[in-house]
Amino acid sequence: MQLSGRVFACGIYGERDQDMNNNRIMGHKILVGSVLSYGKCSFKLTLVSMYFFAALVVLSGCSGGISNMDTKHIRRMAVMKCETGHSCDDMTIHPSGRFLACTSEVHDKVFVFDIKKHQLIKTLVKDYKLFSSYLAYSTDGKYLIGQSQVVKGQHKLRVWDVGNNYSLYSDEMPLFPTGNRLYATPDNRLYSWHFLSLRGNKEPKIYFYTVPDMKQSGYLEAYENPEKVSISPDGKYMVDAWMDFGKIGVRGKKGDVHSYLRIWQYPEIVLKKQLKDVAFGPPASFAWTSDSSYFLYGSNATDKDVSYRIYHQSMKLFDVETHEIVETIGPMDTSPIMLGFLDNEQYVIALTNKRTLDIWDRKDGKRIDRYKFPKGWAFDGLQNPVNKNQIAYNHKDEIWIMEVHDLR
């Protein structure tokens, strides 16, 4: 990734090397302002300015301002800011890792960034503002798909041709029965799910669609709300998981609580195994090894005062063929909302709901580093991996590119 100039953060900036292969931080400087007095007064005013600056740094950090808090293995590489000031609640990254598209539920725009240049390069129009606005690049990178508007309770899609300067693929697209996130599959389809809702949907399903015409090409009965679904990189397996909360929280009654994990043969959608309570806790995230032999399951961590008593869980690595747990990592003190493997899969990176990036060593199952994002910041949208060692996350009108380095 090419870096240009200096990145300012709370008055602290790093002069970064222009070498794309190294991306080294050359040094840090602190800006304390100018001394406007002379003689005996200059020393006092300089101290005042330094104290004032320090207070600004502290206040900006507490209020969600940008600050440089690089750790031993995690550093911020770039900040991309939407020039119009609009927020970005959901985002998707092009398979090449070069482009990032984001949108929001509060406006009708889609913004496309060049990650390498850290610039906004395209603004697209959805035609409609949605409470749920989601995006996905197709697996082959040729199309960007987004929800456009609601027609009689169903969603209309908008498909842009990436290679043709993001022109519209077609003005006439079929209606989409679900208003949830869109995910690309290895066989260049798209899937989403329609879950139980206040509208009385009693048959939740995972729907599959062909790209770019977005015609329905099958579905999977979801039983309960499928909180997470993941397909292996080789396109041969699919896993989904959910929690059955029984009657807990319904008019004060209590019942059994169980977790379910299903392993499917894909794309035939043939059930290979259903596991019960092997990884107790609401599912939070999945990650696959590059050879698709194993998948990592991360559970949500909850407080001890909740009725179903789910405590801090360990991440569990499953063998997709034997369905056995072959490794545990943790326990964690928070929920991993995104998981990934690093450095020949020796390490695991977890983006958590405590606003942290955690790195875990699989050798001993212990955490070796934690990056804490500024107080007051929260994750508003979907977090995606840029590549094996980089993470993108967004808040309001900013997207940060984080990099993991020097693990060995």
Which residue segments constitute the domains of the chain, with CATH numbers given?
Answer: 6-62 (no CATH), 74-404 (2.130.10.10)
Q: What is the mean predicted confidence (pLDDT) over 267-291?
A: 86
**CA torsion, ordered 170, 172, 177, 179, to nearest 10 deg:** 50
Percentage of the residues of the chain whose pLDDT score is greater than 90: 29
* Predicted local confidence at residue 282, as pLDDT: 66
- Contact (Cβ atoms closer than 8 angstroms) between residue 124 and residue 84: no
Confidence of residue 376 (pLDDT cuts 50, 70, 90): low
β-bridge pairing 99-103 and 237-244: unpaired
Concatenate the DSSP letters of all residues of 19-53 into one string: -TTT--EEEEEE--------THHHHHHHHHHHHHH
Looking at per-residue pLDDT, the higher value among 250 and 68 belongs to 68
Residue type (1 letter), 255: G
Cα 65 from Cα 10, distance rounded (Å): 7
Cα 209 from Cα 219, distance rounded (Å): 9
156-166 pLDDT, tens digit each: 788 999 999 99
C-alpha pair distances (Å), 249 with each of 30, 179, 307: 52, 26, 8
Cα 220 from Cα 234, distance rounded (Å): 20
Confidence of residue 129 (pLDDT cuts 50, 70, 90): low
Position 142 pLDDT exceeds 80: yes
Q: Residue 8 contacts by C-beta under 8 Å, 6 or more apart in sequence?
A: none
Looking at per-residue pLDDT, the higher value among 116 and 138 belongs to 138
Q: Residue 201 contacts by C-beta under 8 Å, 6 or more apart in sequence?
A: 194, 195
Confidence of residue 201 (pLDDT cuts 50, 70, 90): low
- Kindly report whether the global pTM for this prediction surpasses the value 0.85: no
Give residue for tokens 């199952």: 365
Cα 373 from Cα 361, distance rounded (Å): 21
Both structure tokens of 191: 């899937």
Looking at per-residue pLDDT, the higher value among 56 and 151 belongs to 151
Closest CA to 387 of 99, 134, 145: 99
- Contact (Cβ atoms closer than 8 angstroms) between residue 114 and residue 162: no
- Contact (Cβ atoms closer than 8 angstroms) between residue 350 and residue 317: no
- Contact (Cβ atoms closer than 8 angstroms) between residue 165 and residue 366: no
Confidence of residue 311 (pLDDT cuts 50, 70, 90): low
Percentage of the residues of the chain whose pLDDT score is greater than 70: 65
Angle at Cα 381 formed by Cα 378 and Cα 387, nearest 5°? 105
94-124 pLDDT, tens digit each: 999 889 998 877 778 888 999 889 889 999 9
Closest CA to 163 of 185, 135, 138: 138
